[in-house]
Structure 1
Amino acid sequence: MVDQALARLRHDVLSGTFAAGTKLKVDDLQNAYGFSSSPLREALSRLSQEGLVTADERRGFRVALLSAADMADITHMRLMLDVQALRDSIQRGDDAWEGNVVAAFHRLELVESRLSDGPVILDDTWADLHRGFHLSLLAACASQRQLRWSESLFDQAERYRRFSGRFRKTLKRKTNEHRRILDAALKRDADTACALLEEHMLGTLRNVEAILKDGVPPVP
């Protein structure tokens, strides 16, 4: 029950169903999801540990606020962890790893090709496959702790990606960027793959910073 409650809450926080700063009252969540208070409180505590929710003994739980400084910090940590994880993964990855990465990209490309013009990041299926592709690239990294932290940071950045996708006036699909990263990884060209991944993440940071600079408020 905790895992189910966690999955539902994480989705609604990442997707913006609960806007930044929203108070997450356990009673309201019970009515919305049908879970008892115990699994909901545990799920909220876990989301707090992941940085998606803030906890205060007097105020309870709230969706974490959005800020350019926070996104910059998330990106800084991802650059430290993910780039090195990708380099290690390319060096250690076997045939099975290659197959999984190619399959993850293929699924992502197929779904993206079927979507109409607009912010693909707001499509749940695309978002799940996008996450799967990025994590598959890192999957051969030897450090499980590093992979867990990378996964958590990806989710923290995901909230900002979806936020920015609602307000961006010009949208660029990411298929070509993903393909270039994939091609470099399969060629075992770690330097190129890591440089491309770094620019990929910095591009997301620039998009978010541009939106937050305009003072656009989060929306439910």
Structure 2
Amino acid sequence: MHGSEATDYTPTLVEQAFGRLRQDVLAGTHAAGAKLKLDELQNAYGFSSSPLREALSRLAQEGLVRADERRGFRVAAISAEDLADITRMRVMLDVPALREAIVHGDDAWEAAILAAYHRLEKAESRLGDGPVVLDDAWSELHRAFHLALIASCPSERQRAWSASLFDQAERYRRFSARFRTTGRRKSNEHRKIMEATLRRDADTACALLEEHILSTQRNVQSALNAAEA
């Protein structure tokens, strides 16, 4: 791609539809299990059926949407079993990816982690200590930090699957935020993971990351229990 083409780039209609739908599925605007009807989506978003159908197919590949047997689409359901499966896969993929990244990471990788942590910590400092609904800006910074940690893992598929699983877990994080009674201050956990990673202390960094992932599962499970009650 030539430089002029890069600067003139605008997202295609499919990418625009995908971005809007993905954001709303993650935020819970479309409830878990809800049917996504093309005519209603056309009215809500202003896109024609073709880019919307392609966007829904991409969301289905990411596990955020399910294609049902009658050729329709539904938002993926939320359940303790699904959360446990996502968590198990994240531990299987993310923890070894971090270990590999620590082996292969260079100075630029370290600098990117520091920058991502700094932006996330600044955003967290503005959240306060009361109950919060996670906003899109915080979520993007949180995602960027976690992906920066494993950016030097040599396996492109491992990084891509980790990103997809992070997004599937994000829907649960957003869900649990609605039932939380105390503020969300994770920056201390993130700082410890970052410091161990930059020390190249793989054993500590990987243990901290695994506990961080498992603590998300515990928090969301509490929210699921509260929702049922």
* Residue in structure 2 matching 1:101, options 93, 113, 116: 113
Residue 34 of structure 1 is aligned with which of 46, 66, 69? 46
Q: Deviations over 1:68-97 (max 9, x none)?
A: 010000000000000000000011000000
1:45 match = 57
Equivalents in 2 of 1:200, 1:116: separation in Å?
A: 21
Matches of 1:174 and 1:156, distance apart in 2 = 19
Stretches of structure 2 lacking an aligned partner (at least 5 in a row): 1-12
In structure 1, which of residues 144, 155, 160 is the aligned counterpart of residue 172 of structure 2? 160
Matches within 5 A, 1:68-79: 68-79=80-91
- Give the equivalent residue in structure 1 for 2:204: 192
List aligned pairs for 1:1-220, cutoff 5 A: 1-58=13-70, 60-119=72-131, 122-216=134-228
Verify the 8 A CA contact 2:130 2:182 in the aligned structure 1: no
Deviation, structure 1 residue 124: 1.2
Provide Cα deviations, 1:155-201, integer angstroms capped at 9, x if missing partner. 00000001001102233410000000000000000100000000000
Q: Call closer, same or farther: CA 1:153–1:60 in 2, change over 3 Å.
A: same
In structure 2, how many angstroms separate the alpha carbons of the residues matched to 1:128 and 1:63? 21
Q: Pick which of 26-35 and 53-62 moved more.
A: 53-62
Distance 2:164 2:33 in 1: 20
Aligned length: 217
Higher RCO (C-alpha 8 Å, min separation 6):
1
CA distance 1:118–1:63, shift in 2 (3 Å): farther
Q: Give SS of 1:116's match.
A: coil
Percent identity between matched residues is 70
Q: Displacement of 1:213 after TM fit?
A: 2.3
Structure 2 Cα separation of the partners of residues 116 and 172 of structure 1: 8
Q: Which moved more, 1:55-64 or 1:190-199?
A: 55-64
Shift of 1:121: 5.8
**1:112–1:120 Cα contact (<8 Å) kept:** no
Unaligned runs of 5+ in 1: none
Q: CA RMSD in A?
A: 1.4
Structure with greater Cα Rg: 2
Cα deviation, 1:4-43, whole Å, max 9, x if unaligned, reads 1111111000011111011111111111111111010001
Please report how far the alpha carbon of residue 115 of structure 1 lies from its aligned counterpart in structure 2 after TM superposition. Answer: 2.3
Q: Secondary structure at the match of 1:122?
A: coil
